[in-house]
Chains A and B, each alone.
Chain A
């Protein structure tokens, strides 16, 4: 497939949108986990999580902020094939976990949400795979 003239712009937009979403979501995850540490605090979530769950959600939040920051940097500078590849892989893994968890019935209270999220992640992964610049355009893998 030819890497068209509009592809870099579309790739930057995709990186910017997903990066912004990741940073915001990560900040929310981290904030909720930090709030839950306060003495006497009750969980603002509608499902049971517990201190161990918040421990991992806080780490997820920090990782999402860092991941989103990398995507936003790519959106500003343009190019950056590797972040697209890594993001596509991460989205595929996240989608696979959601599909498996949904199949097991572990989060049945969420209804169809895990399947919809998995579909969205896979579509975004396809976008990153197809819009990322080719190797010869960036000079990096």
Chain B
């Protein structure tokens, strides 16, 4: 009885493992895919920052020059958008 029950439970997990979706549901963690290289975007204190484009949280491109004349704060942090 115990052996059969254990077999059913383990076999169920095995089937679940095979049927897991092809890509993880969550996006948190160490996925290197969102890494973006920005060439030439090296600022110098006292001078205007070179223009560059980066994707926002929705993946839409945002140019630094779109905010010309406004105060801009750039933050880089790990996303927990699970």
Interface residues of A (CB under 8 A from B): 1, 47-48, 88, 92, 95-96, 99, 102-109, 115, 118-119, 122-123, 125-126, 129-130
Q: How many residues of B contact A (CB 8 A)?
A: 24
- A-facing residues in B1-20 (Cβ within 8 Å): 3, 6-7, 9-11, 13-14, 16-18, 20
A116 CB to closest chain B CB (Å) equals 9
Rounded to whole angstroms, the CA-CA distance of A105 and B25 in the bound complex is 7
Rounded to whole angstroms, the CA-CA distance of A102 and B20 in the bound complex is 9
The majority secondary structure among interface residues of chain A is helix
Other contacts beyond A103-B21, A123-B14: 14, CB < 8 A: A48-B30, A92-B9, A95-B17, A103-B20, A103-B25, A105-B31, A106-B26, A107-B30, A108-B33, A109-B31, A122-B10, A122-B14, A126-B11, A126-B14
Query: Does A104 lie within 8 Å of B26, measured CB to CB?
Result: yes
Residues of chain A within 8 A of B40, CB atoms compared: none
